[in-house]
Structure 1
Amino acid sequence: MCQRKFYILPLGLKMKVVGLVSGGKDSIYNLMKCVENKHEIVCLANLYPPTSGNHEIDSHMFQSVGAEAIQYIGEAMNSIPLFRKVITGKPVSKELEYEPNDQDEVEDLYLLMQAVVTHYPDIEAISVGAIKSTYQKNRVENVCKRMGLKMLAYLWDRDQTELLDDMIQDGVEAIIIKVAACGLTTKFLGQTLKESRDQLLQLKQKFDINVCGEGGEYETFVIDCPLFKKRININTCEAVLHTPPDETVSYLVLHTLECIPKGEPETS
């Protein structure tokens, strides 16, 4: 049963928001929707993998590829405060309804939100880019309930083709930084949503993939959008083929980046 009305608050109820961001299109586009609905983005929050050289970890909740570049998202958004925490837990509690477990990765989110609220006690809501994953939604809801916060998920239960087109039309420029599905080869790495849109729709027809990547088919990193005061320029990156048994998985490691004023030419 769709509960979408639970997440989109009545008009006139404006709140101070922390944006849970991965650097990907969904979390950033949801922030755009928060601003559109007159909420105030106070700060950003991000969970990242241990610095062991492994950019891709077995998380059921959080995007880890591209985490090395997340600070540029905060800088691009006029240097908005960014809170970060390393992911120490694992996906231990795997039932659809989440029960708190100290060893679970969801508790990393809980601890991160505690740190945010300690610094900004007037925070009222968390912005999340959830689209279809009830598993993920339930876990963010659990954290929100324990902390007395609302969850803002404006993308929840949207038609994914329509949502993808809206993102492109509304100026979200995101590149694909990970592929992990039939038909999504390394040639997609570095392509923008606009460049890959038609091919993604073809793969949806052929393999029934989620065109927004909600099933983990691909992940993205936003380099520009209307929220950004500066554009993120990726100067050097490296394509990596995941180790067996996931040889079909490949991703980009973003080595050097810079934020440049919009309108200035990109450096090569």
Structure 2
Amino acid sequence: MSDDADGDADGTSDGDATASPGAYVGLFSGGKDSSWAVYRALDRGLPVERLLTVHPAGDSYMYHVPETRLAALAAESIGIPLVEIEPDDFDAGSTTDSGAQGDRELEPMEAALTDLAAEVRLTGVTAGAVESEFQTSRIEAMCDRLGIELFAPLWQRDPRALAEEMLDAGFEITVIQVAAAGLDESWLGRTIDREALAELERLNDEYGVHLLGEGGEFETFVTDGPHMDRRIELLYDTEWDGTRGRIRVTEAKLAD
């Protein structure tokens, strides 16, 4: 696993980047974390030849859920072909065991990567996990089974430092779902800038809200960034039940 735990801010050595010919697949939702992982991989010269998006039918232990259909526009702007896993591909069954559920949710992704390995010389995947052992341990095990690398440039990094790096790089990050104390309806559709980041720090002190929403406190979508050719414009309605809410995109397009 390539990550930042060794202090290398890029997540892998220059030698790794040049010694890993073959294709990488970006595990991609369009959210800030998976987008940052893809961006850092491209910045390091890793050959990201596909993006892979999972569309869960409902709540998920493993995947970003809201507005995953926007990933197709993001992939078009980035200029990398997108592979999509549809809800019909899932056979999660019925279980109250989160570990078993997580394992089952990973199966269609692993099957898709196995299929891709027949098209390209698959070297590795990128992932945007920051602190989730639940997700990362399963993705690492999957990579071991497939004999490929895991590039995880956010893993165990300081959340504030990561957020600052995203803003410094020019990421435009839109909040599309909130589900935590302290996050009200005004956050839906809000752009995460330095003022919003300062507010999140206060909410972290008061309620324990993770600065990057790692615990599901909020979900995001990247509408622009240095790895994208065209900005994504969104029109949407908001849904709010008094404690949590989300946006429902009514129109999305690449800016002229």
What interval of TM-score do these two structures reach, taking the shorter chain for normalisation?
0.7 to 0.9
Give 1:22's match in structure 2, choosing from 4, 23, 29.
Answer: 29
Question: What CA distance in whole angstroms lies between the structure 2 residues aligned with 1:106 and 1:210?
Answer: 25
**Aligned 8 A contact 1:237 1:253 in 2:** yes
SS at match of 1:226: coil
For 2:216, the aligned partner's letter is G
Equivalent residue number for residue 225 of structure 1: 225
C-alpha deviation, 1:123, in angstroms: 2.0
> Structure 2: which amino acid aligns with 1:38?
G
Q: Note if contact 2:233-2:252 (Cα within 8 Å) is conserved in structure 1.
A: yes
SS of equivalent to 1:27: helix
Q: Which amino acid aligns with 1:172?
A: F
SS of the residue 1:119 aligns to: coil
Deviation at residue 69 of structure 1 after TM alignment: 1.4
Residue aligning to 1:265: none
The residue aligned with 2:45 is 38
In structure 1, how many angstroms separate the alpha carbons of the residues matched to 2:128 and 2:40?
Answer: 10
Shift of 1:3: 8.8
Rate the CA distance shift 1:100–1:178 in 2: closer, same or farther, 3 A. Answer: closer
**99 and 147 in structure 1: CA distance in 2 versus 1, 3 angstrom threshold:** farther
**Contact map agreement 2:173 2:222 (CA 8 A) in 1:** yes
Match of 1:48 among 31, 55, 79: 55
Conserved 8 A contact 1:48-1:86: yes
CA-CA distance at 1:81 after TM superposition: 0.7
SS at match of 1:258: strand
Runs (4+) off by over 4 Å? 98-101
Aligned partner of 2:16 among 13, 16, 22: 13
So what's the TM-score if we normalise by structure 2?
0.87
* Number of the residue aligned with 1:174: 173
Identity of aligned residues (%): 27
Distance in 1, Cα, partners of 2:122 & 2:59: 30
For residues 72-110 of structure 1, give each alpha carbon's deviation from its aligned partner in whole angstroms, at most 9, with x where no partner exists.
0111112x2100112424395634xx7996xx1111211
Aligned equivalent of 1:254: 249
The one-letter code matched in structure 2 to 1:39 is L
CA contact (8 A) 1:23 1:221 kept: yes
Counterpart CA distance in 2 for 1:239 and 1:160 is 27
Partner Cα distance (1:255, 1:63) in 2: 19
Asked if the contact 2:24/2:123 (under 8 Å) is kept, the reply is yes
Which has the larger helix fraction? 2
Partners of 1:83 and 1:116 within 8 A in 2: no
> 1:163-221 deviations in whole A, cap 9, x for unaligned?
11111111111100000000101100111110521211110111121110001110000
Spell out, residue by residue over 1:134-190, the C-alpha distance to the aligned partner (whole angstroms, 9 max, x if none): 010011112111111110001100111111111111111110000000010110011
Aligned partner letter, 1:45:
L
User: Could you tell me how far apart the structure 1 residues matched to 2:116 and 2:236 are?
Assistant: 31
d(CA) in 1 for partners of 2:237 and 2:138?
A: 33
1:53-132 mapped onto 2 (5 Å cutoff): 57-78=58-79, 80-87=80-87, 88-90=90-92, 94-95=98-99, 104-120=104-120, 122-132=121-131
What is the aligned partner in structure 1 of residue 160 from structure 2? 161
List per-residue Cα deviations over 1:46-71 (Å, max 9, x = no partner): 00023xxxxxx221110110112111
Structure 2 gap segments, 5+ residues each: none
Amino acid at match of 1:126: V
State the number of aligned residues: 243
Determine the C-alpha separation between the residues in 2 that align with 1:134 and 1:3.
15
